[in-house]
């Protein structure tokens, strides 16, 4: 695709592109927003460097692409509750969300997208991996596609060790942090904007297939989790202060790598309202 107002450079063969030529501290023209959205839909996750924005500017930026919503398990900033601080302190050994997932699929309307802005990062480490769930589905055998196409997945906020990844922050949760949230979504999700099918399960939140026991579901889910994150489906992003990542939760997984013990990492996250998946 060609772009008139931005420069788009893919960072891997499967997913991800860096976009240059925009300054988010200034108002964006509608045609620039449209081109960013087009690049985002094409590459699933887009990255921006050297941005310097306030929380108010981050919220205003997010509102150009969707509706920011509050995260249920961690208190947002006092003046900007839709901004969730993503923090790991030097003395902590567990990082927030540190496993493969797409955000909050335990909600009936899981978020369309996530925007993450880096304020403070370690001198090395703390990269984030992303994986293309379109390719994960498209590379399955026809037989397995036929099995999965009609299935519904059960998603939980309290599956396994995902609870541990938010334990350090959950003390500030706005409401009922110990109450599990459960939702059901198609295992094969049709993207509402592109029409493409993606493999919509994740290690963090998918517990079983509807109508199957967890014991029956586990062998197939384990295969799908491994298949989704094959290296050729992924990209890796190295953060710097002022970096922004903006990804599509409907067709991409992400995994923040926990390899920077003894250092502080602070980012501001906004998630966007989504829609029913069925």
- What's the order of all strands across the beta sheet hosting 234-237? 234-237, 128-132, 252-256
Q: Could you tell me the two tokens for 12?
A: 């891997």
pLDDT of residue 266: 97
Q: Any bridge partners for residue 36, and if so which? A: none
What pLDDT does 178 receive? 66
SS3 267: strand
Give the span between the Cα atoms of 69 and 84, in whole angstroms: 10
Secondary structure class of 48 (helix, strand, coil)? strand
| Dist. CA 202–CA 264, nearest whole Å | 27
Set 101, 166, 205, 250: catalytic member: 101
Secondary element (H or E) of residue 226: helix 214-228
Is 103 marked active-site?
yes
Options 189, 205, 250, 269, the catalytic residue: 269
The CA angle 186-187-190, to the nearest 5 degrees, is 65
pTM of the model: 0.93
pLDDT at 163: 59
What pLDDT does 171 receive? Answer: 52
Residue with tokens 């026991």: 213
166 belongs to the catalytic site: no
Choosing from 43, 103, 169, 248, which is the catalytic residue? 103
- Eight-class DSSP state of 28: P
Smallest CA-to-CA distance from 133 within 89, 88, 198, 43 is with: 198
Strand runs labelled E in the chain: 7-10, 17-20, 45-48, 68-69, 84-88, 113-120, 128-132, 152-156, 182-186, 188-190, 197-199, 206-209, 234-237, 244-248, 252-256, 265-272
For 7-272, CATH number? 3.60.130.10
> What are the structural domain ranges in the chain?
7-272
Q: Which of 43, 169, 185, 254 is catalytic?
A: 254
For residue 199, give both structure tokens: 């493999």
The half-sphere exposure of 248 on its side-chain side, counting CA atoms within 13 A, is 27
Kind plus residue range of the DSSP H or E element containing 95: none
Report the chain (278 residues): mean pLDDT per 10 consecutive residues: 94 98 96 98 98 98 97 91 96 91 95 98 98 98 98 91 56 62 97 98 96 98 98 98 98 97 97 93
């Amino acid at each position: 695709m060609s772009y008139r107002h931005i420069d788009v450079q893919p960072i891997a063969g499967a997913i991800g592109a860096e976009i240059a030529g925009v300054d988010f501290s200034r108002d964006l023209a509608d045609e620039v927003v449209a081109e960013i959205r087009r690049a985002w839909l094409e590459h699933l996750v887009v990255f921006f460097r050297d941005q310097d924005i306030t929380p108010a500017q981050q919220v205003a930026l997010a509102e150009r692409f969707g509706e920011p919503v509050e995260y249920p398990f961690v208190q947002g900033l006092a003046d900007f509750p839709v901004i969730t601080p993503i923090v790991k302190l030097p003395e902590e050994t567990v990082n927030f969300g540190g496993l493969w997932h797409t955000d909050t699929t335990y909600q009936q309307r899981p978020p369309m997208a996530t925007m993450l802005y880096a304020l403070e990062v370690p001198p090395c480490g703390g990269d984030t991996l992303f994986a293309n769930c379109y390719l994960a589905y498209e590379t399955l055998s026809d037989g397995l596609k036929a099995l999965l196409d009609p299935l519904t997945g059960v998603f939980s906020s309290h599956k396994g060790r995902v609870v541990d990844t938010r334990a350090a922050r959950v003390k500030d949760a706005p409401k009922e942090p110990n109450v599990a949230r459960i939702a059901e979504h198609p295992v094969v999700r049709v993207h509402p904007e592109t029409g493409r099918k993606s493999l919509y399960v994740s290690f963090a939140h998918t517990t079983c297939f509807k109508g199957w026991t967890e014991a029956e579901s586990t062998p197939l889910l384990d295969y799908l989790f491994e298949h989704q994150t094959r290296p050729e489906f992924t990209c890796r992003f190295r953060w710097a202060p002022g970096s922004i990542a903006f990804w599509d939760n409907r067709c991409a997984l992400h995994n923040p790598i926990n390899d920077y013990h003894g250092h502080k990492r602070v980012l501001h996250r906004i998630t966007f309202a989504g829609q029913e998946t069925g």
